[in-house]
Structure 1
Amino acid sequence: MAIWQYLLMVVPENSIDSNYQCIFKNNKTGFLPETKSFWKNFDDDIPSIIAELDQIIKRANWGNDTFINWKGDGNNEEDNDACICLSDDKTRIEEFQFRIDLRKASNITNILQSILKLCEINQFVLIDLKGEIYKPKIEYIIEIIKASNANTFLIDPIKFLENLSNEKRT
């Protein structure tokens, strides 16, 4: 993941229950927890979700039928990407996440808003790296992006790196 990207995980809103506490709030590892259990009761039209993402971001030239990837043009500061992992029989989503390139405003106005609309239509919520849950509303997501490391880096990369260095010393 590039420093200028902001990652969000996607899960069905109706799957957030006590399971959430175990999976996210108690995660003490340095890795993202799996969200497969949030998708176990989701049985909506997966091909239409994939087709909609195809309209938002270009399909990547890697992956396969169960590990589907999308990748924007990183050379044009459009390093947006998404990934949906399906079960082996392709009937269930197991993971869904996306990253937005914060270097260009059009990534927010075009790509992010389109993905948020997809999420809203399908009654998905978003989970950030801290495990916080957000409705797919641009005003909420803009606030968390403003407070993100990615945004802090883009505003002042030298200060960001100096702060990292200072944190390691203390």
Structure 2
Amino acid sequence: MKNDIDKIITRAEWNGGASWKTEKAEFDHDLSIDFNEKENYIEDFRFRTDLTDSTLTFIKSMLDLCDRKEWILIDDKGNLCKPKIQNLAELIKDSDADRFLRNPTEFFENIK
């Protein structure tokens, strides 16, 4: 699987080769995997996408990977969805990132 990810995003220099990040790129995407070597399974697979990237290349690649592996997505609030762009759009709607992009001033004024 790491080789599949290497085709999508550059491997980072930290976390023992289990992290990827778009270094010196226009958009800021990243990904990390926590793999349990002893039990041979993925404990955590996380990716973060830059919502200003209108090409959607990274996010579509991540969704395709998740779909092929038959994984589901979960946001930071515990909401689940299938790895389809339409489903993800629903999770993104009204997220902190979406609210910030729509109105940064209002976002910071309403931080609790």
Amino acid at match of 2:42: I
1:123 to 57, 63, 70: 70
Partner of 2:33: 84
Calculate the aligned-residue CA RMSD, in Å. 1.6
SS in 2 for 1:147: coil
TM-score computed with the length of structure 2 as normaliser: 0.90
Structure 1: state its 5+ residue gaps.
1-48
Q: Runs of 4 or more off by more than 3 Å in structure 1? A: none
Amino acid at match of 1:85: D
TM-score computed with the length of structure 1 as normaliser: 0.61
How much identity, in percent, do the aligned residues show?
A: 38
**Aligned residue pair count:** 112
Give the alignment of 1:45-64 within 5 angstroms: 49-64=1-16
Cα distance between partner residues in 1 of 2:29 and 2:39: 24
SS in 1 for 2:7: helix
Residue 163 to residue 126, structure 1, CA distance change in 2 (3 Å):
same
Larger Rg: 1
Which structure exhibits the higher relative contact order, with contacts defined as CA atoms closer than 8 Å and separated by 6 or more residues? 1
Q: Which structure: greater helix fraction?
A: 1
SS in 2 for 1:104: coil
Residue 75 to residue 110, structure 1, CA distance change in 2 (3 Å):
closer
SS in 1 for 2:48: strand
